[in-house]
Amino acid sequence: MKIKLLLGIVSLFTVFTLAACGSNQEEPNATEGQDTDHSEMNHSDMSHSSSGVIPAGLKEADNPTYPVESKAILKTDHMNGMKDAEATIVGAYNTTAYVISYTPTTGGEKVENHKWIIQEEIKNAGRKTLEPGTEVTIEASHMEGMDGAKGTIESSEKTTVYMVDYTPTTGGEEVKNHKWVTESELTSK
Of the pLDDT bands very low, low, confident and very high (cuts 50, 70, 90), residue 1 is low
Contact 136, 152 (CB under 8 A): yes
pLDDT of residue 134: 98
Q: Stretch 48-66: mean pLDDT, rounded?
A: 87
Q: Read off the pTM.
A: 0.74
Q: pLDDT tens across 112-135, in order?
A: 999 999 999 999 999 999 999 999
- Rounded to whole angstroms, the Cα distance separating 51 from 44 reads 19
pLDDT of residue 49: 58
pLDDT of residue 187: 97
pLDDT of residue 163: 96
